Amino acid sequence: MKQNYDLSIWGDNWWIEKDKAWFVCGRYNLICCLDLKTKLCELVVYIPDTSHSKFRINSFCMKYQEELYCMPIKGKSIWIYNTVKLKFYEICIDCPNETLLNIRDFWVFDNKIYAVSNGLRQILEINPVKKKIENRYSLCNKGDIAKSIKDGSQIYSLCGEYGQIYQFDLVTKEIMAYKIGDRKFNTLCFDGERFWLSGNNKKLYVWNKEKNKIKILNNFPTQFGMYDFSKNSTGKVNNILDEYKFPIFLYSIVVGKSVWFIPYLTNKIIYIDQESFVLQVFEIEEENETKESILERTDLCYKYLFEYVKDNRYIGLFSIKNNCILEIDTFEQRYKYKQYDYCMSEACIEEYVKCYGNIFYECNLRDIEIYTILLKQKRIYTPEKNIKSVGSDICKTII
């Protein structure tokens, strides 16, 4: 009888289509497809990028018709995987001076795909039939784009370093710039009427574009603070400071009638009612850090990855501390860890191992888990020994 194994692979987003969830393993650049009905990962495919490091090469993805678009963070190309023909296509992107492309936001509009390159400060217009970039639209000349969102035929891009929002019209291709303030912003979302922003301090900003007015919310709970994720961490929260070196939130998300703010290094998930503007904490005891839990981290030294919103109700996060999906029911104010819900088949485990060549890292929990599985099955492959005298070879070379 074939056995299935716990799925605890992180990717930067899940693309949910009906009963399938597509994502790219951020550590090894592998495409995974999870059947949400059977809870079984049924596909693992290696993206044929030749970059030396595979870490976050193409870790965001979207599906359009029968093709999966794998967007580059550190990579130089968009990789397209045809899920019917089981074939890859590559769109190379011209980028000067080794610029980090960092494509995290993308949408379909009028049968074209529009993707924002945060590093290039450009919107790329992709023709999915010809599989080529047809146009590139420059948003600004300085500062990276922090976040982009789409509302109807408008894309709004936040240049957080300079406190500006750029509005790109997908029909006319015109660009308008709005100055929000001199402070630094990192996250942006839109509730249909107002824009919600956060930065590096204990303040949230609500911007009404039509009136060009900003409302500031600063009634943060006293226990709200930031962890130190350095190697000198004590595991304690600094809740004294109001201004931090790093962003306090990594994501802001509108779900139903609430706006949710997901921590970067801070200790509490915050949500706000859009009408009352009351700021509340969503408590998760299992997410409280200790010195040990912080120092155990290897790949990702922060709190969460935002994976999906489902049915305009459920928020899916990847808990880096607990190494699994954390799903929040925003209606019932409940949460559930999906650690043992999702599994990898034996065939997927084999493909997963094959893709990174039987090399395991003892400091990585996932590698330890995979290695243990293979040991139990007596399937660790030892390469043929090549016995050589290194000292003798050196001596011969010198002579």
Contact between 308 and 316 (Cβ < 8 Å): yes
Average of per-residue pLDDT values in the chain: 90
pLDDT tens, 303-328? 999 999 999 999 999 999 999 999 99
Dist. CA 236–CA 213, nearest whole Å: 37
pLDDT of 241-263, one tens digit each? 999 999 999 999 999 999 999 99
- pLDDT computed for residue 161 by the predictor: 86
H/E element, 348: helix 346-355
Report the SS3 class of residue 355: helix
Identify the CA nearest to 32 among candidates 18, 3, 55, 12: 12
**Which H/E stretch holds residue 149?**
strand 147-151
Give pLDDT tens digits for 16-75: 999 999 999 999 999 999 999 999 998 889 999 999 899 999 999 999 999 999 999 999
* Residue 90 · residue 100 · CB < 8 Å: no
Q: What is the pLDDT of residue 14?
A: 98
Can you state the percent helix, strand and coil of the chain, rounding each to 5? Answer: 10, 40, 45
Residue 397, pLDDT > 60, answer: no
Strand pairing category for 185-190 and 175-179? unpaired
How far apart (Å, rounded) are the C-alpha atoms in residues 327 and 325? 6
| Closest to 304 (Cα-Cα) out of 323, 282, 290 | 323
The residue type of 236 is K
Distance of alpha carbon 120 from alpha carbon 184, whole angstroms: 19
Q: How confident is the model at residue 91 (pLDDT cuts 50, 70, 90)?
A: very high
